Amino acid sequence: MRGTLPVVLACHFLAAFTVLGVPLYLPRLLVSFGIAERSLWAGVLFSLPSVMTAISAAWWGRFADRYGRRLSLQRALFGLTCAFLLAGVSPSLPWLILALALQGIAGGTLAAANGYLSLHLRGEQLAKALNWTQSSARLALLSAPPLIGGVLMWRPDIGQRLWLGLAMLSLCGLLLSLRLPADPAIEPTHRAMQNNGIKSTFHYLWAMQFLFNFAMVVTFPYFLPYAAHWLPTEVLIGMFYSWPHLIYLLLLPLWHRLAGRSLYFVPGMVLIALAAWWHSQLVEASSLLAARTLFGCGMLLAYSGANQMLSDTIRHHSAGKQFGQIDAAGKWAGVAAGIGAGWLVAHVSLQAPFLASAAAASGAVLLFVISPLRGSGYVRITRRS
């Protein structure tokens, strides 16, 4: 598996780069379709892929369990390539809407990659691999916006042709996935015993993932006008926004080396709640940097804990479906966070989304305390795989 993990991470990074790089510049890209940058269409089309992924994720998970998880990963990369090619040649807005819907329906690369990894890894090793797939997503989130922004500055007339170039990245991921070994056989032994009590536990895990992702995303849409009160340039605002993700990338290798098994979901969510509340009370830029640092540390702990619980809860024979459901939880949380942030900023203040983030993180902690995960075998620091 030592040589397989880097290939899976590369495939996921190439897909994440395309998906995470475009949304920030979508309003500008829509100008070539005659849509104003501040049009409602920008918000609608921003959410469309996430909604379609949330709707289709569980179905694709069952597809992976039945027909193969390597095939499912290749299916996601192929679908993303087709969607971006269609967006790049769309002659009108309805065609672009179809392309973005296809991006969501045929996407789900993270769930597909995690499902494939679950065939080869167990326990702590799988949890660490899930942390690394999150790391590739953080790296894409850090690199894609500035690089795509540079392309738009260099070629301001590129318009929708940008989608054509990005389609080549997911196509490279598809070609790279051909190097992955075929799915090993799954032994159907003890399935009834494995499923006993898992369903209710997984429901708690789904809800916690929803609250976790909501707490992460709800502060994103209006971070630029929020931070403009203290920071003079968009470059600095972008750096401050990216800082927690950079902390995750920098500390993850050291965290794996020092901590081994990382079951720290509760302290991670507590730190996120405190950091989000701190954001709502700030009076100077230096405090903003400290709050962003605390948020990044909470992100590292919470992702490590969530991935360990997921690794201990996932059933081998239905991992594709379960990873798809977890991916859907994140997508629905993103949609709810975008709508919620818009309402809070319009009716309360720019600080209100951070209070919503703190409330969601606190809710995740409370849900953990009352769930079977608190006292069952899923929370164990020293368990060996």
- pLDDT per position as a tens digit, 93-145: 899 999 999 999 987 888 888 888 888 877 778 888 888 888 898 898 888 87
Q: What is the pLDDT of residue 383?
A: 43
Looking at residue 187, the DSSP 8-state letter turns out to be: P
Q: What is the pLDDT of residue 192?
A: 43
Q: What domains sit in the chain, N to C, each tagged with a CATH number?
A: 1-181 (1.20.1250.20), 194-374 (1.20.1250.20)
Cα 320 to chain centroid distance, Å, stands at 17
- By percentage, how much of the chain surpasses pLDDT 90? 31
Provide mean pLDDT across the span 370-384: 57
- State the sign of the Cα–Cα–Cα–Cα dihedral 25, 26, 31, 35: negative
Place of tokens 């993303």: 80
Query: Is the overall model pTM greater than 0.85, yes or no?
Result: no
- State the sign of the Cα–Cα–Cα–Cα dihedral 39, 45, 50, 55: positive
pLDDT (tens digit per residue) in 178-191: 999 887 765 554 44
Q: Are 172 and 80 in contact (CB under 8 A)?
A: no
DSSP H helix total and E strand total for the chain: 16, 0
- State the sign of the Cα–Cα–Cα–Cα dihedral 141, 142, 143, 146: positive
Q: Are 18 and 167 in contact (CB under 8 A)?
A: yes
Which has the higher per-residue pLDDT, 380 or 69? Answer: 69
Residue 27: pLDDT over 70: yes
Q: What is the pLDDT of residue 182?
A: 83
Q: What is the pLDDT of residue 183?
A: 77
Distances (CA, A) of 144 to 40, 169, 212, 282, 285: 24, 12, 23, 29, 25
Q: What is the pLDDT of residue 188?
A: 52
Residue 349: pLDDT over 70: yes
- Region of 68 please: left (phi>0), alpha (psi -120 to 50) or beta: left
Q: Are 81 and 167 in contact (CB under 8 A)?
A: yes
Q: What is the pLDDT of residue 191?
A: 46
Confidence class of residue 58 from pLDDT cuts 50, 70 and 90?
A: confident
Q: What is the pLDDT of residue 259?
A: 54
Residue 382: pLDDT over 80: no
Q: What is the pLDDT of residue 2?
A: 61
Q: Quote the strand ranges of the chain, DSSP E.
A: none
pLDDT (tens digit per residue) in 207-256: 999 999 999 989 887 887 888 888 877 778 878 888 999 999 898 887 76
Quote the radius of gyration of the chain (alpha carbons, Å).
20
Mean pLDDT of the chain: 83
Torsion angle in degrees (nearest 10) through CA of 25, 170, 306, 49: 50
Rounded to whole angstroms, how far apart are CA atoms 351 and 287? 15
Residue 21: pLDDT over 50: yes
Provide mean pLDDT across the span 30-59: 80
Cα 218 to chain centroid distance, Å, stands at 13
pLDDT (tens digit per residue) in 66-94: 888 899 999 999 999 999 999 999 998 89
Looking at residue 383, the DSSP 8-state letter turns out to be: -
- Nearest Cα residue to 137 out of 265, 275, 327: 327
Burial readout 26-54 (b: 16 or more C-beta within 10 A, e: otherwise): bbebbeebebeeeeebbbebbbbbbbbbb
The 3-state DSSP class for residue 262 equals coil
- Residue 184's CB is within 10 A of a number of other CB atoms, namely 8
Q: What is the pLDDT of residue 381?
A: 43
Q: Under 8 Å CB-to-CB from 357, ≥6 apart: which residues?
A: 214, 215, 216, 218, 219, 272, 273, 276, 279
